[in-house]
Amino acid sequence: GESVGLHLPTLSVQEGDNSIINCAYSNSASDYFIWYKQESGKGPQFIIDIRSNMDKRQGQRVTVLLNKTVKHLSLQIAATQPGDSAVYFCAENIENDYKLSFGAGTTVTVRA
Amino acid sequence: DGGITQSPKYLFRKEGQNVTLSCEQNLNHDAMYWYRQDPGQGLRLIYYSQIVNDFQKGDIAEGYSVSREKKESFPLTVTSAQKNPTAFYLCASQTRGGQEFFGPGTRLTVL
């Protein structure tokens, strides 16, 4: 079946560097995408979202890029900090469908 | 202080017991969700409710039951029919724009 997934299960980043986390999706009908951050033992926390009528959206230190041609989503974190260490999930939604589909997650570890 | 609360934070169940996990939200959201998360895995949908007195099965509903008698509350019961219930359970509610907000989770362990 169609699902959302991430390219790499783990990512190690030097503090201060930029991080790029990737996500591939296969459902061409998906029109809304969200990135979540989950710290150990806690619930996922909303980071940023993007709709399919956009290619790029920026937040505070984060940027989400959407390439609908190749069905690819990425999350860029600028100047990665130790507090950014967590599991990052992408999720997709189809218009008029109440359900989100989640990928398996990428574990980001920030090296001091 | 708006948000989603889940209780208890930790729950222990004996074999053959039913247990109920609480989820409350004061965000005035219509839609609410229950997910299960196993170590190193993503979120799998158990049940969801789009409106009071209505709910639908998700991908892994067997061994679970829910009710939605009030807009603010969406409790999940893990029944004895669920053979492998040890997991981290997450409740969420959704804005009309599709954004889901999550509670802090309940960790259930079978003794």
CA distance A74 to chain B (A): 17
Partners of residue A65 on adjacent β-strands: A56, A74
pLDDT at B39: 85
Q: Which residues of B make CB contacts under 8 Å with A? A: 4, 6, 31, 33, 40-43, 45, 48, 50, 58, 90, 92, 94, 98-105, 107
Residue A106 and residue A86: Cα distance in Å, rounded? 8
* Nearest chain B residue to A9, by CA: B40
pLDDT at B41: 82
Q: Is the pLDDT of residue B17 over 80?
A: yes
User: Could you tell me if B78 and B19 are in contact, meaning their C-beta atoms sit under 8 angstroms apart?
Assistant: yes
Worst-scoring range by mean pLDDT, A8-22, A55-69, B1-15?
B1-15
pLDDT in tens, A26-66: 888 899 999 999 999 999 999 999 999 999 999 999 999 99
pLDDT in tens, A67-86: 999 999 999 999 999 999 99
Residue range B79-106: mean pLDDT, rounded? 92
Residue B8 and residue A16: Cα distance in Å, rounded? 38
* DSSP track, chain B: ---EEEE-SEEEE-TT--EEEEEEE-S--SEEEEEEE-TT--EEEEEEEEETTEEEE-TT-TTEEE--SBTTB--EEE-TT-S---EEEEEEEE-TTS-EEE---EEEEE-
pLDDT bin (cut points 50, 70, 90) of residue B97 is: confident
Q: Contact B100/A100, CB-based, under 8 Å?
A: yes
Residue reference for tokens 């959201």:
B29
**CA–centroid distance for B26 within its chain:** 16
pLDDT at A27: 87
pLDDT in tens, B35-90: 999 988 889 999 999 999 999 999 999 999 999 999 999 999 999 989 899 999 99
Q: Is the pLDDT of residue A111 over 50?
A: yes
Residue A93 and residue A27: Cα distance in Å, rounded? 9
Q: Is the pLDDT of residue A5 over 90?
A: no
Q: Contact A43/B41, CB-based, under 8 Å?
A: no
pLDDT bin (cut points 50, 70, 90) of residue B98 is: confident
pLDDT bin (cut points 50, 70, 90) of residue A1 is: very low
pLDDT at A2: 35
